[in-house]
Amino acid sequence: MTSQNIVQFDGPTILKAENVAVYYGDKQVLRDVMLSVPTHKITALIGPSGSGKSTLLRCFNRMNDLIRGARVEGQVTYHDQDLYDPEVDPVEVRRRIGMVFQKPNPFPKSIYENITWGARINGYRGTMDELVERSLRRAALWDEVKDRLHENALSLSGGQQQRLCIARAIAIEPEVILMDEPASALDPIATLKIEELMHELKENYTILIVTHNMQQAARVSDYTAMMMLTEDRNSATVIEFGKTQAIFTHPRDRRTEDYITGRIG
């Protein structure tokens, strides 16, 4: 069952998965997942393709609800509140736990409207101009777009679009930002900018990031969770969790070591 390689993090945690299992129809894709996400840190989910990293990520803001036939079992909590309590509206969850997707997906509207839309639907009371500037500054995009706020967001480069998506997410003041391979569609320079941005963001936000890129996990994250298919290859789980430095230098699980050193995966 639960691996002995899961270090229970003893600092403040914001999100917790306990014995989480996810099914897509009849097929079980995740089992026995235990994970604590430390507050105001960057936690990376790494592992080979098909090891359920994105699936686990989407458990934390109930995006799996949108996939037909998906079912989540076990307990997922945010500040010790059950995210899957029948009383909890997923809309409320997603307001607290924002998301940045793999492919930059700005709305086909102006840069300005991309920021204000989420705030407006969530009943933001305040000056929109200020919100737009503050969000874009935090996403390190302000200087590049301040003179073209009313241009269509699709006219930005891929890296700018992704930072706009981050700005859009933080404009509704979430506590956690989930990032699903946010830099995989970007070139190395744009990737670097996103990584620098993540470092700044962890002052105010907790970040959980899925990444395929081992160097990226090593560079940006404070904690790392290693995911892997189980022995029978039917479903996946978290096999090791700990400080990123420890995982990358002294992995306790043989499979983690093989994966990190490039022997499998």
Partner 1 sequence: MSLRDAAFESMLQRRQLRGMIFEAIAFLAILIGLLTLALLFYDIITSGVERLSWDFLTSFPSRRASRAGILSALAGSVFLVSLMSIFAFPIGIGAAIYLEEYAPRGWLTDLIQVNIANLAGVPSIIYGLLGLGIFARLAEPITGGRTLLAGALTMALLVMPVVIIAAREAIRSVPSEIRLAALGLGATRWQMIRGHVLPYALPGILTGTILAISRALGETAPLITLGALTYVPFVPDGLRSQFTVLPIQIFNWVTRPQEAFHTNAAAAIIVLLAILLSMNALAIYLRYRFEKRLMK
- Where residue 170 falls (left for φ over 0; alpha for ψ -120 to 50; beta otherwise) is alpha
Of the ranges 35-43, 72-80, 88-96, 229-237, which one interacts with partner 1 (CB under 8 A)? 88-96
Q: Does 61 sit near partner 1 (CB under 8 A)?
A: yes
Q: How many C-beta neighbours within 10 Å does residue 263 have? A: 9
Q: Are 28 and 234 in contact (CB under 8 A)?
A: yes
Q: Does 103 sit near partner 1 (CB under 8 A)?
A: yes
Q: Are 15 and 226 in contact (CB under 8 A)?
A: no
Give min distance, CB of 2 to partner 1, in A.
30
Q: Report the SS3 class of residue 257.
A: helix
Give min distance, CB of 262 to partner 1, in A.
32
Give min distance, CB of 57 to partner 1, in A.
12
Residues between 127 and 186 that touch partner 1 (CB under 8 A) = 152, 154-155, 165, 168-169, 172
Q: Report the SS3 class of residue 45.
A: strand
Quote the CA–CA distance of 68 and 211 in Å, as a whole number. 25
Q: Which residues contact 190 (CB under 8 A, 6 or more apart)?
A: 157, 158, 159, 160, 162, 183
Of the ranges 6-14, 60-68, 77-85, 138-146, which one interacts with partner 1 (CB under 8 A)? 60-68
Between 167 and 228, name the residue whose CB sits nearer to partner 1.
167
Among 118, 182, 242, 251, binds partner 1 (CB under 8 A): 118
Q: Does 64 sit near partner 1 (CB under 8 A)?
A: no
Q: Does 94 sit near partner 1 (CB under 8 A)?
A: yes
Between 3 and 152, name the residue whose CB sits nearer to partner 1.
152
Q: Does 72 sit near partner 1 (CB under 8 A)?
A: no
- Beta-strand (E) ranges in the chain? 13-24, 27-38, 42-46, 70-78, 81-82, 97-100, 176-180, 206-210, 223-229, 236-243
Alpha helices in 8-84 (DSSP H): 53-59
Give min distance, CB of 172 to partner 1, in A.
6
Among 23, 24, 84, 101, binds partner 1 (CB under 8 A): 101
Quote the CA–CA distance of 66 and 44 in Å, as a whole number. 24
Between 157 and 245, name the residue whose CB sits nearer to partner 1.
157
Between 61 and 211, name the residue whose CB sits nearer to partner 1.
61
Nearest to 240 by CA among 226, 228, 229: 226
Q: Are 115 and 168 in contact (CB under 8 A)?
A: yes
Give min distance, CB of 89 to partner 1, in A.
9
* Binding residues vs partner 1 (CB under 8 A): 61, 63, 66, 68, 91-92, 94-95, 98-99, 101, 103, 105-108, 117-118, 121-122, 152, 154-155, 165, 168-169, 172
